[in-house]
Structure 1
Amino acid sequence: MPAFTPHSDSDGSNTKIKSKYQELYDGISKYLNSAPGGNSTHFLNYGYRSLGGPDEARLDVPGGVPGADSMRLVFELVGPVELANRSVIDIGCGRGGPASLMAGKLGAVVTGVDLSPEAIAYCRRTHRAVGMRFETGDAEAVPLDAGSADVITNIESSHTYPSMRSFLSEVRRLVRPGGWFLHTDMLFGGRWREVRSTLETLGFAIESDRDITQNVLASRNAMARHRSGADTRNPILDNILGLPGSDVYNLLESSACEYRIVRSRLGGS
Structure 2
Amino acid sequence: MPIIDHLFAIGPIRKAIWRLWYPFLTRRLHEEGVVFLNYAFETEPPLGIPLEPADEPHRACVQLYHHVGTQADLAGKNVLEVSCGHGGGASYLTRTLRPEKYTGLDLNPKGIEFCKKRHRVAGLDFIQGDAGNLPFPDHTFDAVINVEASHCYPDFPKFLSEVARVLRPGGHFLYADFRFSDGIPEWEKAIENIPLRQLKTRDIGPDVLRGMEKNSASSQALLDKKLPKFLHGLGRDFAGVTGSRVYNALRDGQLSYRSYCFQQA
Question: One fold, TM greater than 0.5?
Answer: yes
The correspondence for 2:37, drawn from 14, 21, 44, is 44
Per the TM alignment, residue 142 of structure 1 is displaced from its structure 2 partner at its CA by 1.3
Q: 1:42 to 1:194 in 2, by over 3 A?
A: same
The code of the aligned residue for 1:115 comes to: L
Answer yes or no: is 1:153 the counterpart of 2:141. Answer: no
- CA distance in 2 between counterparts of 1:212 and 1:83 reads 22
Equivalent residues in 2 for 1:54-69, closer than 5 Å: 59-61=49-51, 65-69=56-60
Secondary structure of 1:150 counterpart: strand
Q: Give SS of 2:57's match.
A: coil
CA contact (8 A) 1:61 1:71 kept: no
Q: CA deviation at 1:62?
A: 7.5
Paired residue secondary structure (1:240): helix
Contact 1:6 1:186 in 2 (8 A): no
For residue 4 of structure 1, report the CA deviation from its aligned partner: 3.6
Percent of aligned pairs with the same amino acid: 28
Contact in 2 for aligned 1:21/1:160 (Cα 8 Å): yes
Task: Specify the alignment match of 1:134 in structure 2.
Answer: 126
Most deviating of 234-243 and 42-51: 234-243
User: Is 1:257 paired with 2:261?
Assistant: no
Q: 1:32 to 1:224 in 2, by over 3 A?
A: same
Aligned to 1:169: 161
From 59, 62, 85, the counterpart of 1:94: 85
Q: Please tell me the residue identity of whatever aligns with 2:103.
A: T
Residue in structure 1 matched with residue 63 of structure 2 by the alignment: 72
Conserved 8 A contact 2:40-2:215: no
Q: Equivalent residue for 1:84? A: 75
Code of the residue aligned with 2:18 in structure 1: it is: Y
Cα–Cα, structure 1 residues 106 and 214, in superposed 2: closer, same or farther, change >3 Å?
same
How do 1:100-249 and structure 2 match up within 5 A?
Answer: 100-108=91-99, 109-189=101-181, 191-226=183-218, 234-249=232-247
1:264: Cα distance to partner? 0.9
Matched, 1:19 2:19: no
Cα deviation digits, residues 215-266 of structure 1 (max 9, x gap): 1111111222456889968323212211122111122112111111111111
* Aligned residues of 2:220 and 2:236 also touching (Cα < 8 A): no
TM-superposed CA distance for 1:201, in Å, is 3.2
AA of the residue aligned to 1:219: G
- For 1:89, the aligned partner's letter is L
CA deviations on 1:151-191 (whole Å, 9 max, x unpaired) are 00001101101111011011111111111111111113565
TM-score (norm 2): 0.86
The separation in 1 between residues aligned to 2:14 and 2:81, in whole angstroms, is 21
Distance change (3 Å), C-alpha of 1:180 and 1:259: same
CA–CA separation in structure 1 for the residues paired with 2:40 and 2:52: 14
- How many Å apart are 1:128 and its aligned residue? 2.1
Q: Flag the structure with higher helix content.
A: 2
